[in-house]
Structure 1
Amino acid sequence: MTATSLAPSLAAIDGIFRALADPTRRDVVERLTAKQASMSELAAPYRMTLPSFLEHMKVLEGAGLVRSSKVGRARIYQLEAARLKLAEDWLGRQRTLWERRLDRLDSYLMQMKEETPE
Structure 2
Amino acid sequence: MRKQQVLPSLLAALGCALSLGAAIPGVAHANQQLASSKACLSCHGIDKKMIGPAFKDIKGKYAARKDDQAHMVQSIMKGSSGQWGPVPMPANAVSDAEANTLAKWILSL
Report TM bin, short chain: 0.3 to 0.5
Structure with the bigger percentage of helix? 1
The structure carrying a bigger strand percent of its residues is: 1
TM-score by length of 2: 0.35
TM-score between the two structures when normalised by the length of structure 1: 0.33
- The structure number with the bigger radius of gyration is 1
